[in-house]
């Protein structure tokens, strides 16, 4: 494990283990579909200072949502500009009016969603003892710093910790936006049987509610 903080390089206090998920969005005639696969296991770490900073930020939702507010605020402002241009200079041209309305709606929905997430995160962290909240914050630092893309694939991460190990594959599917078969594979990767740990056996089932067989 790298004992340096992923964000600032100082000696780390919180080790982080994560299972990488690779998602490819394929656009076809029937719309968009996702192709997903599990990647490798990542080991990283976060220092006390960065974890505390993140916790402090998450406990103040208005500060935490400054970035999305700026981003969606800009989209909203672009919508106002488009409407102004459409009505002042283009005689209410339909295309510009519609583009402007789309930007206004997108901006508002983005701000509302960012506020909802920030409040939810705040509530979740306040309900935890400080030591647990710092671990959560360290995970958020890791997710913020870890690569988001590799080639055409989006990269996301599942924490490998006690909490995740207790989850069923259906929970993994919902929490980490996994396809059903990938959730089963993830569950199996997180709970290797002694045989697979030795590399002898490839297929094994989730005794809780597995109905898709793991391919790898
Ligand atoms: Zn740090």
User: Residues 117-175: pLDDT tens digits?
Assistant: 888 899 999 999 999 999 999 999 999 999 999 989 999 999 999 999 999 989 999 99
- Please name the residue that has the structure tokens 């089932």: 205
Is 200 a residue whose pLDDT tops 80?
Answer: no
Rounded to the nearest angstrom, the distance between the alpha carbon of 59 and the centre of ligand 1 is 18
- What is the overall mean pLDDT for the chain? 86
Is 209 a residue whose pLDDT tops 50?
Answer: no
Q: What is the pLDDT of residue 36?
A: 95
Q: Nearest Cα to 61, choosing from 111, 130, 14, 134?
A: 111
Instruction: Name the token pair of 31.
Output: 């719309």
Rounded to the nearest angstrom, the distance between the alpha carbon of 45 and the centre of ligand 1 is 9
Rounded to the nearest angstrom, the distance between the alpha carbon of 109 and the centre of ligand 1 is 33
Q: How many angstroms separate the CA atoms of 55 and 48, rounded? A: 10
Q: What is the pLDDT of residue 69?
A: 84
Give me the number of domains the chain comprises.
Answer: 1
What is the bridge-based pairing of β-strands 149-150 and 31-46? unpaired
Residue 128 lies in a domain: yes
Rounded to the nearest angstrom, the distance between the alpha carbon of 50 and the centre of ligand 1 is 4
Residue 126 lies in a domain: yes
Residue 191 lies in a domain: no
- pLDDT band (50, 70, 90) for residue 195: low
Q: Which residues surround ligand 1, an ion (CB under 5 A)?
A: 5, 7-8, 10, 47, 50
- pLDDT band (50, 70, 90) for residue 216: very low
Instruction: Supply the DSSP string of 23-34, one letter for each residue.
Output: EEEEEETTEEEE
Rounded to the nearest angstrom, the distance between the alpha carbon of 115 and the centre of ligand 1 is 26
Residue 131 lies in a domain: yes
Q: What is the pLDDT of residue 196?
A: 56
Residue 179 lies in a domain: no
Rounded to the nearest angstrom, the distance between the alpha carbon of 127 and the centre of ligand 1 is 24
Rounded to the nearest angstrom, the distance between the alpha carbon of 158 and the centre of ligand 1 is 21
Q: What is the pLDDT of residue 1?
A: 54
Rounded to the nearest angstrom, the distance between the alpha carbon of 47 and the centre of ligand 1 is 4
Residue 46 lies in a domain: yes
- pLDDT band (50, 70, 90) for residue 2: low
Q: What is the pLDDT of residue 21?
A: 96
Tell me 3's DSSP state: -
Mean pLDDT across 174-183: 94
**String of b and e for 145-171 (b: at least 16 CB within 10 Å)?**
bbeeeeeebeebbbbbbeebeebebbe
> Contact, 45 vs 16, CB < 8 A?
yes
Residue 172 lies in a domain: no
Range of the domain at 116: 14-166
- Residue percentage of the chain with pLDDT more than 70: 88
Q: How many angstroms separate the CA atoms of 108 and 122, rounded? A: 21
Rounded to the nearest angstrom, the distance between the alpha carbon of 110 and the centre of ligand 1 is 29
Rounded to the nearest angstrom, the distance between the alpha carbon of 11 and the centre of ligand 1 is 8
Give this prediction's pTM: 0.74
Residue 2 lies in a domain: no
List pLDDT tens digits, range 37-94: 999 999 999 999 999 999 999 998 777 778 888 888 899 999 998 888 888 887 777 8
Q: What is the pLDDT of residue 206?
A: 40
From residue 86, alpha-carbon distances to 70, 91, 98 in Å are 24, 6, 10
- pLDDT band (50, 70, 90) for residue 3: confident
């Amino acid at each position: 494990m790298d004992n340096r903080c992923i964000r600032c390089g100082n000696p780390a206090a919180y080790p982080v283990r994560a299972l990488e998920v690779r998602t490819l969005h394929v656009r076809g005639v029937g719309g968009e579909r996702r192709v997903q696969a599990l990647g490798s296991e990542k080991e990283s770490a976060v220092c006390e200072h960065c974890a505390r900073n993140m916790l402090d930020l998450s406990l103040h939702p208005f500060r935490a949502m400054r970035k999305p507010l700026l981003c969606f605020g800009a989209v909203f402002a672009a919508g106002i500009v488009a409407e102004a241009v459409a009505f002042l200079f283009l005689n209410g041209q339909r295309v510009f009016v519609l583009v402007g309305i789309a930007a206004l709606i997108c901006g508002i929905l983005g701000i509302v969603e960012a506020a909802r997430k920030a409040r939810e995160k705040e509530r979740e962290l306040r309900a935890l003892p400080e030591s647990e909240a710092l671990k959560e914050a360290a995970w958020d630092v890791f997710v913020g710093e870890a690569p988001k893309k590799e080639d055409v694939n989006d990269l996301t991460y599942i924490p490998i910790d006690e909490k995740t190990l207790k989850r069923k594959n259906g929970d993994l599917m919902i929490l980490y936006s996994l396809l059903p078969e990938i959730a089963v594979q993830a569950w199996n990767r997180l709970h290797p049987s002694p045989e697979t740990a030795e590399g002898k056996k490839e297929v094994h089932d989730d005794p809780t509610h597995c109905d898709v067989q793991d391919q790898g």
